Structure 1
Amino acid sequence: MNLVITFGMMAVFFVIVIGILYVAKLRDANFSEYAVGGRSFGPFYVAMSFLNTWWPGTTFIAFAGLAAGSGVIGFYALLYSLLTVILMYLMAKKVWVWGARNDLRTQ
């Protein structure tokens, strides 16, 4: 009985996801609009999106393993993280404008 409930819930989940994708497809006219969100997100939002996905992953997984395996040299992660945030802040606007001008896509 548990197996039927499990697969039933998975089927319902996939039907909901397919429904949402179909509705989203109706709103987006072409692949370029879908891939870049209609270019409605500014450079600040793109930079924060990058940082909110990159920083936690590197902090809790990669840097912890580096520090445990290498010792004190693993503390370079603090400098590395800070430099990445600063570089992303400085580059985000230029990259966003360049991508909009050349119709670059992420998918």
Structure 2
Amino acid sequence: MYIVTNIQNKVRPLDGSEVTNPTWVKLFKLHAVGYDVLHHIDSSRPPDRASADYLSWKKINAVILQWIYGTLTHGFLVRVLEDQSTVYEAWERVKILFLNSKGSRAVSV
């Protein structure tokens, strides 16, 4: 049984101005710790597809992806959303998106 929370009550959508990436990351990780799913965000590898744990992992992965995608504004969502993604891969795409934009701002200043 899985309890799904409306994460938007806890983590406001990442828009890059009112809610910045560092703030979003802190709030999101706090939420992930509270639901004992932080291991999906770090570089922990998923279980092998033949493993008895894989189906449970896959369901939890889908819920956390919904949390990530549900807390991105449309402009960021279309740049991060991909089929067949793991939470870790989506998390890294968000990180790279902001690392790249941080470098762009530094060059343009």
Looking at both structures, which has the greater relative contact order when contacts are Cα pairs under 8 Å and sequence separation is at least 6? 1
Structure with max Cα Rg: 1
TM-score by length of 1: 0.28
Larger proportion of helix: 1
TM-score by length of 2: 0.28
